[in-house]
C-alpha cells in the first residue's frame, strides 16, 4: 500500500498481504480459472429453453388434469379405481398422462437443479443433492411410465 | 434515470425536508449506521452509529466524508471523482445499491413517528470479499469483465480514417456503453450473492456493448463465452440489476438480448 502526500492510502493490490488479517468471504467466489473450465455444450441453453417450452405445454396439461380430477363430476369424491381404469382405457388419456408425467418431472427436476446451484455452497453438497435428485427423478419417471403401459383394469 | 425519492404520501415531511426541496438551507440531524469491519481486530463486522448535522441537499458521500474527517479517521471506503463518473463508491445504502456520490441525503432520509430522522444504513456491496469497512475485493468482478473480452475485435487492416457507423447501428448498443463498472448491478444480484462464479450482469452488459457493435467481429466468441454454465443462462430476471444501475442502463434487457442472440444465431 502506498500513501500519497495528503495521507490518503492508495490500494495498489487489493489482496491483503498480512496473513493474520480476517476477511469476510462470500460463498463460491469467482477465480481466475472459473471461466477456464468452460463447458462447450449448449446444455444450459437447451435447459433454459426446455423450462419455457415445457411450461407452456404444462399450463394446459396440468390445468386440464386438475379440472378433470378435482372439479368436474363431483370433484375428488368420484375418483376411484374404476374412474382411473375408465380413463386409461383410452389411448388419449394415456398419452396425456404420459406426456404430463415426463414434462412435469423433467421440468421440476431441472428447476430443483437450479435451486441446488443457487443455494448449495460446498461442492460435495451440490454433488450429492444432485445425485439424490437424479435418482428420485429417474425412479418416479420409470415407475410412472411402467404403470401407464402395464396398467391392468382386471387386477384381482 | 430513476433517482430514488421519498414517497410523499408514505413519509411525513419535516420543515427541514420541505426547505431542502425549496432550496433554502436548513440543517437536520441524521444518524449514519455504518457496517464496520476491521480485519486486524475482529473476525466479524459491527454496526456503528455516527450522528451529524447536515444540509439534506448534500450527498451521502459528503456525510461519510465528514464522519471520516471529523469523527473517525479509520473509516475506510473508496471514492474518487465524487460525481458519478469513476464508479468507485457503490455501496448498500438503506439496503439498496447506490453510488454514495449520486444519492442525496434527503432522498434516503425517512422520519419516524416522532419526526426524528431514521438512521441511514450503509454497508459494503454484497457477494464480494470484504477487506475493510466498505472496501471489497473487486478482483473477481474485474476477472469476469476481462473474461468477456471487452475490447474491439476486428480482422484485416485498420481503416485510415475512423470506422464509420450509422446512427441506427450506434443505437443498437448505445445503452450499454454508459457502464462505469461500479459493480452495483452484479452485487445486487441474488444469484451472484450465493454463487459468485456467475459472470454477473456487469460482465454481460460489457459483452453486450461489443456483441451488438456493427464494427466488431468478436460477437461469436463472446456469445460462446456467455453460453457457459456460469453465463447468461443463470440469470433469473429478478431485475435487481436494472433497479441498482446508477447509469440507468436497462441491464436485464441487455442480458435478455444476449440470450436471444444465442438462441437465434443457431435456429
Ligand atoms: C403450469 C405451468 C408451468 C409453467 C408455465 C412453468 C414455468 C416455469 C419457468 C418459465 C421456470 C423458469 C424460471 C426461471 O428460470 O427463472 C420454472 C421454474 C420451475 N418450475 Fe415450473 N412451470 C410450470 C409448472 C411446474 C410444475 C408442474 C412443477 C413441478 C413439478 C414446476 C417446478 C418448477 C421448479 C422447481 C422451478 C425452479 C424454480 C426456480 O427457478 O426458482 N413447474 N417454471
Ligand atoms: S451496468 Fe450500471 S450498475 Fe452495472 S457496473 Fe455498469 S454502471 Fe454499474
Ligand atoms: S466517487 Fe466516482 S462515482 Fe462516486
User: What confidence category does residue B115 fall into, taking pLDDT thresholds of 50, 70 and 90?
Assistant: confident
Q: A31-35, A152-156, B79-83, B120-124: which range is least confident on average?
A: A31-35
Q: Which ligand is nearest to the CA of B232?
A: 1
**Looking at residues A61-76, what average pLDDT do you find?**
91
State the pLDDT confidence band at A4, using cuts at 50, 70 and 90: low
**Residue B258 clears pLDDT 50, i.e. is over it:** yes
Lowest mean pLDDT among A75-89, B5-19, B20-34: B5-19
Average pLDDT for chain A: 86
A7-16, A29-38, A124-133: which has the minimum mean pLDDT? Answer: A7-16
Ligand 1 atom 7, closest CA: A55
Residue B136 DSSP SS3? strand
**Which grid cell is A134?**
437424479
**pLDDT tens-digit map of B183-216:** 999 999 999 999 999 999 999 999 999 999 999 9
| CB atoms B37 and A24 under 8 Å | yes
Give me the pLDDT at residue B149, please. Answer: 95
Rounded distance between C-alpha atoms, residue B67 and residue B119, angstroms: 14
- Residue spans per domain, chain A: 43-150
Domains of chain B (ranges, CATH numbers): 20-135 (3.10.20.30), 138-264 (1.10.1060.10)
Write out pLDDT tens, residues A14-55: 555 555 678 888 888 887 766 655 667 889 999 999 999 999
> A30–B197: do the CB atoms touch at under 8 Å?
yes
**What is chain A's Cα-based Rg?**
26
User: Nearest residue CA, atom 6 of ligand 2?
Assistant: B179
Find out whether the beta carbon of B125 lies less than 6 Å from any atom of ligand 2: no
- Whole-number mean pLDDT of chain B? 91
CATH class entry, domain A43-150: mainly alpha
pLDDT at B1: 46
Distant-in-sequence, close-in-space partners of B144: CB < 8 Å, separation ≥ 6: A30, A34, A35, B186, B199, B200, B202, B203
Residues of chain B above pLDDT 70, percent? 91
Helix (H) or strand (E) holding B256: helix B251-264
* Beta carbon of B247 within 6 Å of any ligand 2 atom: yes
Nearest C-alpha neighbor of B15 from the set B104, B103, B117:
B117
Amino acid at each position: 500500500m502506498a500513501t500519497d502526500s495528503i495521507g490518503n492510502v492508495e490500494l495498489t493490490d487489493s489482496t491483503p498481504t498480512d496473513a493474520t488479517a480476517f476477511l469476510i468471504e462470500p460463498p463460491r467466489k469467482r477465480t481466475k480459472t472459473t471461466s477456464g473450465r468452460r463447458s462447450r455444450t449448449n446444455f444450459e441453453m437447451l435447459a433454459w429453453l426446455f423450462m419455457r417450452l415445457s411450461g407452456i405445454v404444462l399450463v394446459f396439461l396440468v390445468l386440464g388434469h386438475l379440472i378433470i380430477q378435482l372439479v368436474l363430476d363431483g370433484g375428488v369424491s368420484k375418483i376411484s379405481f374404476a374412474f382411473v381404469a375408465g380413463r386409461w382405457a383410452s389411448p388419449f388419456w394415456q398419452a396425456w398422462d404420459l406426456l404430463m408425467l415426463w414434462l412435469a418431472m423433467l421440468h421440476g427436476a431441472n428447476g430443483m437443479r437450479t435451486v441446488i446451484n443457487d443455494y448449495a455452497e460446498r461442492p460435495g453438497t451440490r454433488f450429492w443433492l444432485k445425485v439424490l435428485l437424479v435418482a428420485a427423478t429417474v425412479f418416479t419417471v420409470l415407475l410412472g411410465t411402467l404403470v401407464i403401459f402395464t396398467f391392468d383394469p382386471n387386477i384381482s | 434515470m430513476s433517482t430514488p425519492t421519498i414517497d410523499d404520501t408514505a413519509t411525513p415531511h419535516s420543515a427541514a425536508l420541505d426547505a431542502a426541496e425549496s432550496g433554502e438551507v436548513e440543517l437536520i440531524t441524521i444518524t449514519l449506521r455504518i457496517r464496520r469491519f476491521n480485519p486486524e481486530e475482529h473476525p466479524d463486522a459491527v454496526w456503528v452509529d455516527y450522528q451529524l448535522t447536515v444540509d439534506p441537499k448534500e450527498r451521502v458521500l459528503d456525510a461519510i466524508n465528514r464522519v471520516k474527517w471529523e469523527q473517525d479517521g479509520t473509516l475506510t471506503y473508496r471514492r474518487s471523482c465524487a460525481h458519478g463518473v469513476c464508479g468507485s463508491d457503490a455501496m448498500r445504502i438503506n439496503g439498496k445499491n447506490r453510488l454514495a456520490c449520486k444519492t442525496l441525503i434527503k432522498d434516503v432520509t425517512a422520519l419516524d413517528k416522532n419526526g426524528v430522522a431514521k438512521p441511514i444504513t450503509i454497508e459494503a456491496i454484497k457477494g464480494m470479499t470484504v477487506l475493510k469497512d466498505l472496501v471489497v475485493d473487486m478482483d473477481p468482478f474485474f476477472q469476469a469483465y476481462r473474461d468477456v473480452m471487452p475490447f474491439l475485435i476486428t480482422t484485416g487492416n485498420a481503416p485510415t480514417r475512423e470506422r464509420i457507423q450509422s446512427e441506427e447501428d450506434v443505437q443498437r448498443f448505445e445503452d450499454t456503453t454508459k457502464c462505469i463498472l461500479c459493480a452495483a448491478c452484479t452485487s445486487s444480484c441474488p444469484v451472484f450473492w450465493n454463487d459468485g462464479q456467475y459472470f454477473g450482469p456487469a460482465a454481460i452488459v460489457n459483452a453486450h456493448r461489443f456483441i451488438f457493435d456493427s464494427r466488431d467481429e468478436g460477437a461469436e466468441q463472446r456469445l460462446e463465452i456467455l453460453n457457459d454454465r456460469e453465463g447468461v443462462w443463470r440469470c433469473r430476471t429478478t431485475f435487481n440489476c436494472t433497479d441498482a444501475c446508477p447509469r440507468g442502463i436497462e441491464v436485464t434487457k441487455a442480458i435478455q438480448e444476449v440470450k436471444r442472440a444465442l438462441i437465434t444465431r443457431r435456429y
